[in-house]
């Protein structure tokens, strides 16, 4: 295991991987700009007619069910299978799983039919998918009774993924090891779509480090968290924080990132 | 009648109601972030498969026809009916009614099949729906021949709603009383989606004060207008104003809001 | 030939043309706000049920295939034909042509069935459509082997359009003359959707100067480039640049724009 967000970021910026995102309407511009600011290339494409071809061009596929509907779910499944066939790693963001039956079942169906490398969600969403009792309320504020570290481990084992459970402290597990990431800032919770951005950036890191999904997922969260810390410095509220976040992602310095990342084994 | 935007805002921030929005592609991120900045929780969901379930979780439903299409209209109607059955108050924003037959007829159909608590639109849109002659040009700049205060009253009576007609001065009526709201700033007209934001915030206030929709609608516009005034202070143009608007919404102070709100009975 | 972005901008701001945009989910808010900041009126409508009626109200139609799907393509074709019948000029932005067969074929089909006034794309996209060999990678970074000036001329001749090929220097051709536009800033490449904005602004200028599409297209790029230069002055990265861009578009001064525009004949 080598955890070095700085090294991965440097590599990612050199290779500029294409990250195919089938994501929700609310955050498309935001995740595209976060991807671009970090140093990768976003592409959004959702038509059944082209998703497989687009996915095969990509370094990673990010599936986000934030505003799902049947045509989109079909495309997500087709893209996921094409990604699997082409060995393109897949990130799933199960936005709102637990809030409605349709979301929960769609997330489960994708996990069932597609080999997902990293599942990135909040505690409520992940708990729903792994069968743990959780309080779910909308998509912005979800709590969970259990312990986040154990939840990540249980989800990874139960679902056969790297589980990346974000919160005040993030927990990433491959079912065996758990990495805790203690970067970030409270203002990240005040902007819609920051969870989705963290999934997009997970795709970017995974594209650059596909054989170490646990490390890639933790590094992505550390990098995003550090950018959040930088963005908060001069923020006057969620609007200016949001703007600063792109500046901060673009300004992330690979040479200092490892020193600032608060990643620890649990 | 008790008009106190400060008290409602304080209550809203404590309860953090979930506000279900079926809105247009152009402004989804913007209305989500405005909702979150104010202190409520936005959720966007438009699939026929889940809208009823999502609406029943919500404190208010906001329907906005800005980029409508048949599947979306079906979902709006289904969600509206579910909201009515569950006593969840409904806000309708008839974006562009009058510009095309499809928009006008869809807005009328929703008003016909759903019990709408508050209709929030500009003078041209509302005039179209109540049958008054109006000049309609696009969705950003619409004028109307009549008197806005009378238009609000006529719309409220004719359509059986609280009519919230926004403009340089806003007029909100339940068909009997009319409240005029004189907050705001010209730059609100220079940013796309501020009308949609005002509808989203109307949903937030309505979730906190469902039994007084007239007051809730006026309070929402006053709060939004005050935020607009604050956002304009350091703005260099529509871009920085837009950013400042989220900071200003988050920074709204319940203890000074009533004093700054310019709400009067007409 | 009269090239005067300042005069066209002044005229456009007086007349405030409605610019109908059938564009992608990623950039809708951005192109709407860029249109509004410049001084025109954006309207987004994509339903087959209303696009023809909406297009007939407009001063220009902008078709952008960035997140296409069959229903949308049907609407683009219907709107394009309605625009032709009503003599409303059409701009096509073939986002990602060359990346997937579906995009390439859709762009070709639109060019075949609709009389497109201006084709605005990057070198890779335009080269694909005119049959020149090109390296295509995603939608953000595309290179091309040939010479951009010759590519623009060849595309204009081969496709029967004004070809507007953007890059570090932009080249606009009607098949005979070529205008090079040397305004802009590297940060425009760091924000998602700036290409789409340039297409939207091309629609604005074309609405104000429909009989001179070559000049209108070049003027639009010069105006956008000058705004990019202004936006870069205080930018700390792509986030603040993006915000400044709207301020700069709104702040464009018609009386100095001609002197700042770097448009030359090639």
Closest residue on chain A to C192 (Cα): A33
Q: Is the pLDDT score of C146 beyond 90?
A: no
**Averaged over C95-107, what is the pLDDT?**
97
Residue C148 banded pLDDT, cuts 50, 70, 90:
confident
Strands, E assignment, chain A: 18-22, 41-44, 60-64, 90-93, 118-122, 134-135, 143-144, 162-166, 170-173, 178-181, 263-265
Residue B148 banded pLDDT, cuts 50, 70, 90:
confident
**What pLDDT does A1 receive?**
62
pLDDT tens, position by position, A93-124: 999 999 999 999 999 999 999 999 999 999 99
**Contacting partners of chain C (3+ CB pairs under 8 A):** A, B
Determine the Cα–Cα distance for residues C266 and A219; give it in Å rounded to an integer.
Answer: 49
Could you give the angle at the alpha carbon of C236 between the alpha carbons of C230 and C240, nearest 5°? 65
Residue B162 banded pLDDT, cuts 50, 70, 90:
very high
Q: Which residue has the higher pLDDT, B135 or C154?
A: C154
Q: Are B97 and B64 in contact (CB under 8 A)?
A: no
Q: Is the pLDDT score of A141 beyond 50?
A: no
Q: Is the pLDDT score of C24 beyond 90?
A: yes
**What pLDDT does C133 receive?**
59
Contacts with B76 (C-beta within 8 Å, 6 or more apart), sequence order: B22, B63, B65, B68, B110
Q: Are B170 and B164 in contact (CB under 8 A)?
A: yes
**Averaged over B172-200, what is the pLDDT?**
97
Please state which of the ranges A3-12, A125-134, B94-103, C89-98 shows the lowest mean pLDDT: A125-134
Q: Is the pLDDT score of A135 beyond 80?
A: no
Q: Are B130 and B160 in contact (CB under 8 A)?
A: no
Q: Is the pLDDT score of C142 beyond 50?
A: no
Alpha helices per DSSP H over chain C:
5-15, 28-38, 51-57, 70-85, 101-113, 123-130, 148-159, 194-208, 213-232, 238-251, 254-260
Q: How far is A135 from chain C (nearest CA, A)?
A: 32
Q: How far is B166 from chain A (nearest CA, A)?
A: 24
Q: How far is A94 from chain B (nearest CA, A)?
A: 14
Please state which of the ranges B54-58, C24-28, C69-73, C131-135 shows the lowest mean pLDDT: C131-135
Determine the Cα–Cα distance for residues C188 and B256; give it in Å rounded to an integer.
Answer: 41
Give the ipTM: 0.94
Determine which helix (DSSP H) or strand (DSSP E) holds B194, and give its type and residue range. helix B194-208
Beta bridge partners of B18: B41
Instruction: Nearest by CB to C245, from B69, B96, B239: name it.
Output: B239
Residues present in chain A in total: 266
In the sheet that holds A118-122, the strands lie side by side as A41-44, A18-22, A60-64, A90-93, A118-122, A162-166, A170-173, A178-181, A263-265
**What pLDDT does A58 receive?**
98
**What pLDDT does A132 receive?**
76
Instruction: Nearest by CB to A237, from B50, B242, B251: name it.
Output: B251
Determine the Cα–Cα distance for residues A128 and C174; give it in Å rounded to an integer.
Answer: 58
Q: Are B35 and B250 in contact (CB under 8 A)?
A: no
Determine the Cα–Cα distance for residues C221 and C236; give it in Å rounded to an integer.
Answer: 23
Could you give the angle at the alpha carbon of B31 between the alpha carbons of B29 and B35, nearest 5°? 115
Instruction: Nearest by CB to C243, from B24, B26, B240: name it.
Output: B240
Cβ distance B43 to A67 less than 8 Å, yes or no, reads no
Output the six-digit token pair for C183.
């305004």
Q: How far is C240 from chain A (nearest CA, A)?
A: 6
Rounded to whole angstroms, what are the CA distances from B33 to A96, A238, B196, C38, C166? 17, 8, 12, 24, 33
Secondary structure (3-state) at B172: strand
Residue B202 banded pLDDT, cuts 50, 70, 90:
very high
pLDDT tens, position by position, A218-257: 999 999 999 999 999 999 999 999 999 999 999 999 999 9
Q: Is the pLDDT score of B20 beyond 50?
A: yes
Residue C140 banded pLDDT, cuts 50, 70, 90:
very low
Q: Which residue has the higher pLDDT, A136 or C20?
A: C20
Instruction: Nearest by CB to C137, from A18, A50, A244: name it.
Output: A18
Helices C28-38 & C238-251 angle (0-180, nearest 10): 30
**What pLDDT does C43 receive?**
98
Q: Is the pLDDT score of B206 beyond 90?
A: yes
Residue B140 banded pLDDT, cuts 50, 70, 90:
very low
């Amino acid at each position: 295991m080598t955890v070095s967000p700085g090294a991965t970021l440097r590599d990612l910026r050199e290779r500029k991987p294409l990250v195919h995102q089938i994501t929700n309407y609310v955050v498309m511009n935001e995740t595209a700009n976060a991807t671009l600011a970090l140093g990768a290339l976003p592409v959004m494409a959702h038509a059944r007619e082209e998703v497989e071809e687009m996915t095969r061009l990509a370094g990673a596929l990010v599936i986000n069910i934030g505003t799902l509907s049947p045509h989109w779910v079909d495309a997500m499944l087709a893209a996921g299978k094409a990604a699997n066939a082409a060995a393109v790693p897949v990130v799933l963001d199960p936005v709102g799983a637990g809030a409605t039956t349709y979301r929960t079942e769609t997330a489960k169906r994708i996990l069932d039919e597609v080999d997902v490398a990293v599942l990135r969600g909040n505690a409520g969403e992940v708990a729903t998918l792994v069968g743990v009792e959780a309080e779910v309320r909308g998509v912005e504020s979800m709590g969970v009774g259990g312990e986040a570290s154990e939840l990540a481990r249980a989800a990874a084992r139960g679902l056969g993924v790297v589980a990346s459970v974000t919160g005040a402290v993030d927990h990433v597990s491959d079912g065996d090891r758990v990495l805790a990431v203690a970067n970030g800032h409270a203002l990240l919770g005040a902007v819609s779509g920051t969870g989705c951005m963290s999934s997009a950036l997970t795709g970017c890191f995974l594209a650059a480090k596909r054989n170490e999904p646990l490390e890639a997922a933790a590094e992505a969260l550390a990098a995003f968290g550090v950018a959040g810390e930088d963005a908060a410095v001069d923020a006057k509220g969620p609007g200016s924080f949001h703007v600063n976040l792109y500046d901060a992602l673009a300004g992330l310095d690979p040479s200092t990132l490892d020193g600032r990342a608060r990643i620890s084994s649990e």
